[in-house]
Every structure is written in structure tokens, then in C-alpha cells.
A = this chain, B = another copy of it.
Amino acid sequence: MAKTRETKHIDTSTEEKIKEAARMVFHKKGYAATRTRDIAEKAGINLALLNYYFRSKAKLFDIIIMETLSAFVQNMAMVLNDPATSLEKKVELIASNYIDFIIKEPEVPTFIISEIRNNPGGLLEKLPVRELVQNSMFVKQHREAVKAGEITEPNPLQFLMNLIGLIIFPFVAKPLLKAVGGIKDTQFNGIMQERKRLIPLWIKAMMKSG
């Protein structure tokens, strides 16, 4: 390596600068609409360096999306598998964690959704999503709650769809919601903050009905 990295914590190496720029551009525009030149410019480097470090646009993209996906799933997996928290508490934690997480990186949900569409099998195969959820403490607790009559709908997928949907959908539909509501980013975030409290209440009410 040419430059000694004086600072270990703030990795200012060229490789990291390129990745950071790539992350931003890919997240905002998606793979197809991204130009390697945009990444190079944003990173403040010569275009050739991008290929020097990462070989190709596709390889760089693979790294970015895998990191983004892992971060996104891991967050969820941690909570779903904690044996120390009740089902109710899990819902609160997921709502709160995810809304905070996504407010920091609002383009991530739409990025993931639109890129998975162009690569249905490939991406998800690499992450053990199915095992992770099916063997989770969450599913076990859900089964118990159904048995105890506290939850009517027996399919845990319906439960998860609702929970994740109530959290993520507003971010995905944000431009539309801003247009409909005639609101600005600050107000939108305010509404999402409210939803940290509301979603657990709503979920509880839903699951007893149906």
C-alpha cells in the first residue's frame, strides 16, 4: 500500500473512499443508472483506480449490495433471535431500531427492493434468510401465542409481512406520500417517529382480530 494509514479508525484509504462513493451512488440510482465515472468523481479519484481496486463495476456492486443486505438482515436477525425478550418487546424493538436505521439511510429499502427484482434468486441464495427466520425464537414465540389464543392468524409470514410493511412501506412510498400529504422531509420524519410508538399498538390490535 502506498500511503500508510495514519488513522486506523477513519479509514481514509483509496479503496475505502471508492467504496463509500459507490455505496452512495448505487443506493441513490441503482446499478443500471450508475456510471462508474460518477463514482470516480464522487470519490475524487481517477476512473482507472476503480478497476485497479475492484476489477469491474459488477464486482464493486456485488460487494456493496452484499454489505447493505447483510447489515439490513443482521439487525433484524439479532432481535428476532433474542431469547430474553417477549414477542411484544420484539415488535417494539424492531419498529424502533428499523425506523432509526432507515431514517439515517432512507434510500436503502428502495435500493434493496429494486435490485432484488433484477436478480431474484442469486442475491438471496447467499444469505440464509429462510433458516434464519424459520428457526428463530420469534417463530417459536409466535407459535406459542397462537396456541394460547393470543394471536388469531396462524401464519407467521402474515405477521412479519405486516410488521415489516408498516415500518418500511412509508419510506419506499415517501415521494408519493409527501406529494399526497403536501409535507416536507422534517414532517415526514416526525410522522415516522410517531409510528415507533403506534406500530406496536397497531400490531397488537391486529393480531387479536382477524
Contacts and interface: CB of A to CB of B under 8 A. Distances in A.
B114 A110 contact: yes
Interface string A104-124: 000100100110111010001
Copies in the complex: 2
Interface residues of A, number: 53
Interface string A149-187: 000010101101110111011101101110111110000
Interface string A79-100: 0000000000000000000000
A133 interface: yes
A205 B32 CA distance: 42
A181 B31 CA distance: 27
Given A29-B32, A134-B180, A161-B170, 17 more contacts: A30-B30, A30-B32, A110-B114, A113-B113, A113-B172, A116-B175, A124-B176, A124-B179, A130-B179, A130-B181, A130-B182, A134-B182, A157-B180, A158-B195, A162-B202, A166-B166, A202-B206
Interface of A: 29-33, 107, 110, 113-114, 116-118, 120, 124, 129-130, 133-134, 153, 155, 157-158, 160-162, 164-166, 168-170, 172-173, 175-177, 179-183, 191, 194-195, 198, 201-202, 204-206, 208-210
